Structure 1
């Protein structure tokens, strides 16, 4: 089970060719609504687009050696590690299609309805929670230093996270402005966090978001509305094992198998 979960990056979910497609399908058919929603909740790559290649040393941020603390101009994205998180692995967790799915279109069973002002108009965003997200986040908060990192705008993602994370699992929240825009994608560059890379993981449904550091990734299938989904439940034992790793690279390699 653990090996199959870790190797999901090689599987193609026919329902999730991109976040853009699902947002477009769920948006009401009125002028401008789809574009507004796309701006609010980021899609990381266009339909059928190839993933960007890994950055070279000529890119804005050269890749760091495995296990080193980020050495980039300016301040690190994360504050100093608190006493309660000393010695813990840092886990970067995505929001949309990983923990929740959101839409402008009214959803009768929405878990949250979040008002968001966009271009002077208040829009209602309907949010569904992924099955077992509460249990998953509670356990993650016990094991790791958890960081929310989304390419969506803070005006949407912050109030959604307020409602989702009632127990304060996320120590820090990072939004679109903390991403690196690279070859048309918003990439979450782990080398800018200020944490040791061999003690850092990222959970995200889009491989484009961790293209700089694929060796740190725990892939998860995109989620939209499947009430029978068990991805997060099955990931709990995987992360329980990873929490004991001295080096996430070697442990992830073991879980991926031959």
Structure 2
């Protein structure tokens, strides 16, 4: 079974390219194309924002894509956090899953600050059961899978304009700039993760998102983050 074909569109080899270089190419593409996606709003895949009770303080919607679905080593490992049975072409396979360090703390805090949506290029047959195991506190208000992406120039793109919300309230974290090529100004880039258990990137990002959750204009702070 080719794990990346059902799970992610970023391989270890591709992850060697500096993230800043890939993000710069994404901005250049947007300028050349004049933006592929629309302006947002209207009815869409996520639906109207819930209000009342816990939801009352939310100003933005945060999309947690493929990096949130943990790494899957090509071979069985002894320290897997989850083992997911997945049926591919009539055959059951065991997918061994490693959680990125601090993902539980990060997801809990993001669920307190934002309306969170899992948006992944992974197939639902894999990503849905992983999300069930990962999201014990119910941070994900919606889940969108590969079927909700736009296949564009060989990549699965998360077109934020199709989601039914104003773009100035949408934030996407992604390890693949190709995934947000239509809306790079809404993105918080994050490095791909495979097996480095000393990684602290999720923990380091929490203060930034705490600031971002208080902003009326998300683009100002996002631009500062892109330039830092």
Q: Distance in 1 between matches of 2:145 and 2:72?
A: 16
Matched, 1:195 2:195: no
Partner-residue secondary structure (3-state), 2:130: helix
Given the alignment, which residue of 173, 183, 189 partners 1:219? 189
Partner-residue secondary structure (3-state), 1:136: helix
Given the alignment, which residue of 63, 67, 77 partners 2:37? 63
Alignment correspondent of 1:166: 136
Q: Distance in 2 between matches of 1:198 and 1:151?
A: 23
Alignment correspondent of 2:180: 210
Q: Distance in 1 between matches of 2:6 and 2:223?
A: 36
Matched ranges for 1:7-156 at <5 A: 33-34=1-2, 37-43=3-9, 47=14, 53-54=29-30, 56=33, 62-65=36-39, 69-70=40-41, 75-83=43-51, 84-86=54-56, 87-95=58-66, 97-156=67-126
Structure with bigger helix share is: 2
Contact 1:110 1:127 in 2 (8 A): yes
Any gaps of 5 or more consecutive residues in structure 2? none
Given the alignment, which residue of 190, 206, 219 partners 1:249? 219
Contact 1:101 1:130 in 2 (8 A): yes
Contact 2:150 2:159 in 1 (8 A): yes
Q: Distance in 2 between matches of 1:63 and 1:117?
A: 34
Partner-residue secondary structure (3-state), 1:115: strand
Counting matched residue pairs gives 213
Partner-residue secondary structure (3-state), 1:101: coil
Query: Offset at 1:183?
Result: 1.0
Structure 1 residues 70 and 80 mapped into 2: Cα distance closer, same or farther (>3 Å)?
closer
Query: Offset at 1:99?
Result: 4.9
Contact 1:99 1:133 in 2 (8 A): no
Greater mean alpha carbon deviation, residues 78-87 or residues 154-163: 78-87
Any gaps of 5 or more consecutive residues in structure 1? 1-32
Q: Distance in 1 between matches of 2:68 and 2:46?
A: 22
Q: Distance in 1 between matches of 2:212 and 2:218?
A: 7
Alignment correspondent of 1:177: 147
Q: TM-score, normalised by structure 2?
A: 0.85
Query: Offset at 1:195?
Result: 1.3
Alignment correspondent of 1:27: none
Q: Distance in 2 between matches of 1:62 and 1:39?
A: 25
Q: Deviations over 1:167-198 (max 9, x none)?
A: 11000000001001111110001111111111
